[in-house]
Amino acid sequence: MPKKIGGGLSTAEKPKEDYANELGKLNSYIKVLMNNSCSYSLLLDQEAKIIYYSDHLFDFAGVADSTGATGSDAYIGMPLLDVYKKLFDDSDYIDETSRRLKRIMSGEKVFKHEDIVDWPNGEKRIYRIFFRGLSEENDGFNGIYIFMQDITDLRLEEAERRLDDLLHSTVIPCMIWDENGNVLAFNSAIARVFGGSEDMPLEDFNKLLIASRPKYQPNWKTTETVKREVIRESLEKGFSQASVKLKKADGTPVYFSVYTTRISWLFGYRLIMYYYDMTELKIKEAEAKAAEERVKIMFNSMPLTANLIDKNYNVVDCNQECIKIFEVSSRKEYCDRFFELTPEYQPNGRLSKEMMVEEISKAFKNRYNRVWFTHRTMNGEHIPCIITLICMSYQGEEYVMGYAHDLREINAALAEIDETNERIKLMLDTAPLSCHLFDENLNLIDCNQEALNLFRIPDKPKHLSSF
């Protein structure tokens, strides 16, 4: 039997207006509940037509109260996909929504996913969206309830916590930039480099960092240019490496090799900058370069020709004296034409190239060799030399260093002395007087022909020894 209400009419007899009033009240309660939650809700019927949606649900599409005629009810009764096609240009998002609706309409009870929404003001928000099928025990599927929860702040906190853990677990100097190169965070190691501390305000750290940057880097690029190149390459490739020179608060220069890694971060990227201090290495490199320059100066200023020869008998380097003596245009020409700068045969009759290879091989084997050798200039002039060959190690390889002493001036001086001696001898031998030459100890060391004639001794050595 129908239930009596208040001793009066049964529920079957209750006026239809009362049901309408009660249904209207219930509908109002549902609207109040949906509009006063911190999330967005959407109620669809069996055909995915809109029954109700929270106020401002479509604000992210920039169409709140779009028609003005019916206010927030402007899309009631319309299929959700038709509304999306009017509001969104993103066909992929519409297709994805269609697939999600079909999942619910085919019997799947509930599922969730996350979407990033671009608001008209340019702000991006992350939403966790629940799709739930509505049904009664006997009637089956009756509709769809869509619930959107803003989780942007939650995701932001999680991302910042991960970055913070990464930053403070790193023992080397490190900082985090955004995509425009603004410093977002830094660790204690890099703060100490510039005389700061980990707990100093970000604004104060930025002032230290700006003060540490010279206008130009050692490669003559501006520091700002290098910074922009690092950002561009990191965003494009995911990684970059650059060498930079900065300075401490007291002006002491400090050199870094900066490795930058791009990581995904919510709506974009963050750049993790690792700073490896290369100052000590740079100082050693500078010292080594200065030492090399000093050796080079000595190498090029020595009055001997010097060649560096590898195990394949190639001349890989020479000093300036080689270019001068052999009248070639450059080091390269000298090295390339080394074996052409000799006559075909040596004075002893041996082939020049064969003799040179053999003597260099002896130097590699015995670590030292010395040989008389004749070279030839580009103009064909012969150069008698004493060549000293010394085996040495350089950068892990064996080389022979060849020093050649040009004997042309010495030979010319000796020839001049011999010529002078011959003239003196000729003058003495033609003199009509007997002449003897004694040293400081009164030992007879020479005499002329007239002395031999006088003493009737034809043998000069006999005369000198028996005088």
Residue showing tokens 């020869």: 309
Reply yes or no on whether the pLDDT at 1 is more than 50. Answer: no
Domain count, the chain: 4
Alpha carbon 227 to chain centroid distance?
A: 13
Q: In what order do the strands lie in the sheet with 253-265?
A: 183-186, 174-177, 268-277, 253-265, 239-247
The DSSP-derived string for 134-174 is: EEETTTEEEEEEEEEEE-HHHHHHHHHHHHHHHHHT--S-E
Lowest mean pLDDT among 29-38, 89-98, 223-232: 29-38
Residue 176, domain member (yes or no): yes
Among 241, 178, 181, 169, CA closest to 209: 181
Residue 234, domain member (yes or no): yes
Residue 42, domain member (yes or no): yes
More confident residue, 32 or 174: 174
Which of 108, 132, 150 is a domain's end point?
150
Contact 145, 134 (CB under 8 A): yes
Same domain, 176 and 245: yes
Mean pLDDT over 141-147 rounds to 83
More confident residue, 270 or 412: 270
Same domain, 85 and 116: yes
pLDDT digits (tens, 9 = 90+) for 297-315: 877 777 888 889 999 999 9
Cα–Cα dist 193/353, whole Å: 61
> Can you give the CATH number for the domain in which 266 is found?
3.30.450.20
Specify the pLDDT at position 139: 60
Same domain, 269 and 166: yes
Specify the pLDDT at position 227: 93
Which of 220, 249, 282 is a domain's end point?
282
Mean pLDDT over 252-272 rounds to 89
Residue 33, domain member (yes or no): yes
pLDDT digits (tens, 9 = 90+) for 332-383: 998 998 888 889 999 999 999 999 999 999 999 999 999 999 999 888 889 8
Same domain, 373 and 398: yes
Share above pLDDT 90 across residues of the chain, in percent, rounded to a whole number: 25
Same domain, 29 and 103: yes
Contact 208, 243 (CB under 8 A): no
Mean pLDDT over 178-194 rounds to 89
Residue 325, domain member (yes or no): yes
Q: In angstroms, how far is the first alpha carbon of the chain from the final one? A: 175
Cα–Cα dist 34/53, whole Å: 8
Q: Which token pair is 122?
A: 């340019």
Alpha carbon 328 to chain centroid distance?
A: 40
Cα–Cα dist 199/153, whole Å: 24
Q: How far is CA 11 from CA 7, 16, 21, 136, in A?
A: 11, 10, 14, 22
What average pLDDT does the structure give for the chain?
82
Cα–Cα dist 174/166, whole Å: 10
Cα–Cα dist 270/71, whole Å: 42
pLDDT digits (tens, 9 = 90+) for 391-425: 998 888 999 999 988 888 888 888 888 887 787 77
Lowest mean pLDDT among 66-75, 85-94, 134-143, 437-446: 66-75
Lowest mean pLDDT among 140-144, 270-274, 375-379: 140-144
Residues 192-199: contacts with CB within 8 Å, 24+ apart? 193/248, 193/254, 193/275, 193/277, 194/246, 194/248, 194/249, 195/248, 195/249, 195/250
Mean pLDDT over 249-254 rounds to 85
Three-state secondary structure call for residue 269: strand
Mean pLDDT over 186-199 rounds to 86
Contact 195, 208 (CB under 8 A): yes
Three-state secondary structure call for residue 243: strand
Contact 164, 186 (CB under 8 A): no
Reply yes or no on whether the pLDDT at 464 is more than 90. Answer: no
Three-state secondary structure call for residue 436: strand
Q: In terms of residue numbers, what domain contains 460?
A: 426-466
Same domain, 189 and 255: yes
Specify the pLDDT at position 65: 47
* 179 CB-near residues (< 8 Å, 6+ apart): 231, 235, 268, 269, 270, 271
Residue 413, domain member (yes or no): no
Residue showing tokens 């030292």: 368
Same domain, 330 and 360: yes
Which of 232, 252, 282 is a domain's end point?
282
Specify the pTM. Answer: 0.54
Residue showing tokens 């104060």: 204
Same domain, 240 and 161: yes
Same domain, 212 and 271: yes
The DSSP-derived string for 98-130 is: HHHHHHHHTT--EEEEEEEEE-TTS-EEEEEEE
Q: Which token pair is 152?
A: 């942007």
Same domain, 85 and 53: yes
Cα–Cα dist 462/467, whole Å: 8
Same domain, 184 and 217: yes
Same domain, 111 and 210: no
Residue 80, domain member (yes or no): yes
Contact 133, 101 (CB under 8 A): no
Mean pLDDT over 130-149 rounds to 80
Residue 202, domain member (yes or no): yes
Cα–Cα dist 378/143, whole Å: 101
Mean pLDDT over 133-149 rounds to 78
Reply yes or no on whether the pLDDT at 64 is more than 60. Answer: no
